[in-house]
């Protein structure tokens, strides 16, 4: 693995991570392709919007269509028509966020019912390593235990203990050729547990490190404080990944604190529910005020939706449940967040992240 930090600005970093399927520039926003598709979009569009890496989901791909089908057909890159870097999560987040489906958790793994047909399934560190090896992703993630927001301290401590135990075992499991493996630190916003988890995970010597168990419903200020405390404890020569943040303010806050990679379903999910993320804030396109609005979604945006269509037209499409409307919003939302992240990267290289952040946040309030 090679990860080169090319510029820093305060705690923030700009870098390049080299994977088996090419480079990605950091900070990087990673569009989520849960079921081997970034919903609504062709992979060529995803790339043209500025994405350099996409996420796939181990839990969902394991059940449908199954890692053996994908593996036999040449792996996830070939299967989904994306030849750039892919990161797969471990499925741990899905298992532990669908708490009603959990049958048993023990030191060896977790047994749960599939959301697809209710059949019992078991994930162990070795099993999720095997699934991710078959999928052939460039970056695999460790199986972790994500405790719910506001969980009792002993529950958080147990999540930290199991996460370390499982990470140590997954590190020894076979991987796809050139596949990187990232460890995940838990501990919610508890300073002592977070530090303990980071110390234990870092000691296992992974290719990169993720902060898990954040952005799961806790208050934002303690979450950002946790990132500020955590990032300097993670090795500076490895990428740092904040799991599950994708609102413009949140992206800028974690970049400023030294995070290199992040993902979120927000831009694609918002697009499918009729909301545009713009440089001036969020627009609900169902709103009657857009009925005769001839402006683009975002006057500062260069995406195909903004360069060709009006808010009035997109509002009409959304209200008539026309697929094109949801597609155009998805295209725009992704372009906006990818452009914002690229802008932050350029600002770090110029040593001007603080002013870039201040100007961006000020503009976000004007919708």
Interacting residues toward Zn ion by CB under 5 A: 301, 303, 305-306, 332
CB 118 → Zn ion: shortest distance, Å?
Answer: 41
Angstrom distances, CA of residue 235 to CA of 23, 80, 164, 204: 20, 33, 17, 12
Q: What residues have CB less than 8 Å from 177, skipping those under 6 apart?
A: 20
Which H or E run contains 9?
strand 2-9
By C-beta, is 234 or 306 nearer to Zn ion? 306
Cβ-based nearer residue to Zn ion, 86 or 303 = 303
Rg (CA), the chain: 20
Residue 360: CB minimum distance to Zn ion, A: 16
Q: Helix, strand, or coil here: 111?
A: strand
Q: Which of 9, 138, 263, 298 is catalytic?
A: 263
As a whole number of angstroms, the distance between CA 9 and CA 356 comes to: 12
89 in active site: yes
Active-site position among 9, 89, 190, 247: 89
Name the strand (E) or helix (H) holding 70.
helix 67-72
Residues 6+ apart with CB under 8 A from 343: 356, 360
Which tokens sit at 59? 């839990």
Residue 32 DSSP label: B
Q: Cα-flanking dihedrals φ and ψ of residue 251, to 5°?
A: -60, -45
Query: With left for phi above 0 and alpha for psi between -120 and 50, is residue 81 left, alpha or beta?
Result: left
Q: How far is the CB of 340 from Zn ion (least distance, A)?
A: 12
Shorter beta-carbon distance to Zn ion: residue 46 or 303: 303
Tokens coding 211: 């902060």
Q: CB 303 → Zn ion: shortest distance, Å? A: 3
**Shortest separation between residue 285's beta carbon and Zn ion, angstroms:** 13
**Helix or strand holding residue 18 (H, E):** strand 12-19
Nearer to Zn ion, 91 or 296 (CB): 296
Nearer to Zn ion, 122 or 295 (CB): 295
Which CB sits closer to Zn ion, 328 or 344? Answer: 328
Shortest separation between residue 343's beta carbon and Zn ion, angstroms = 14
Tell me which residues are annotated as active site.
Answer: 89, 263
């Amino acid at each position: 693995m090679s990860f080169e930090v090319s510029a820093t600005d305060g705690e923030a970093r700009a870098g390049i991570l080299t994977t088996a399927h090419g480079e990605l520039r950091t900070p990087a926003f990673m569009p989520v392709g849960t079921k081997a598709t970034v919903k609504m979009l062709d992979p060529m569009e995803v790339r043209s919007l500025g994405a350099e890496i996409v996420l796939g989901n181990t839990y969902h791909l394991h059940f449908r269509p199954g890692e053996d089908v994908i593996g036999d057909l040449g792996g996830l890159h070939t299967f989904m028509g994306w030849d750039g870097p892919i990161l797969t999560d471990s499925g741990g987040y899905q298992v532990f966020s669908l708490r009603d489906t959990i049958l048993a958790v023990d030191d060896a793994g977790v047994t749960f019912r599939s959301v697809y047909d209710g059949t019992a399934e078991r994930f162990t560190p070795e099993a999720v390593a095997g699934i991710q090896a078959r999928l052939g992703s460039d970056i695999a993630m460790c199986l972790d235990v994500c405790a719910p927001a506001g969980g009792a301290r002993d529950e958080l401590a147990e999540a930290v203990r199991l996460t370390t135990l499982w990470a140590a075992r997954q590190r020894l499991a076979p991987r796809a050729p050139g596949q990187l493996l990232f460890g995940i630190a838990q501990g919610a916003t508890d300073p002592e547990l977070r530090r303990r988890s980071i110390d234990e995970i870092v000691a296992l010597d992974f290719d990169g490190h993720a902060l898990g168990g954040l952005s799961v419903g806790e208050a934002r200020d303690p979450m950002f404080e946790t990132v500020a405390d955590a990032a300097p404890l993670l090795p500076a020569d490895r990428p740092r990944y904040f799991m599950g943040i994708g609102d413009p303010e949140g992206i800028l806050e974690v970049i400023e604190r030294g995070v290199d990679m992040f993902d979120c379903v927000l831009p694609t999910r918002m697009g499918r529910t009729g909301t545009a993320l713009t440089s001036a804030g969020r627009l609900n396109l169902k709103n009657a005020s857009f009925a005769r609005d001839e402006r683009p979604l975002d006057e500062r945006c260069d995406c195909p939706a903004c360069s060709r269509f009006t808010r009035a037209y997109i509002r009409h499409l959304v209200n008539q449940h026309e697929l094109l409307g949801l597609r155009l919003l998805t295209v725009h939302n992704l372009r906006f967040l990818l452009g914002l992240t690229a802008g932050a990267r350029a600002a770090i290289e110029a040593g001007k992240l603080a002013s870039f952040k201040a100007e961006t946040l000020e503009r976000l309030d004007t919708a």
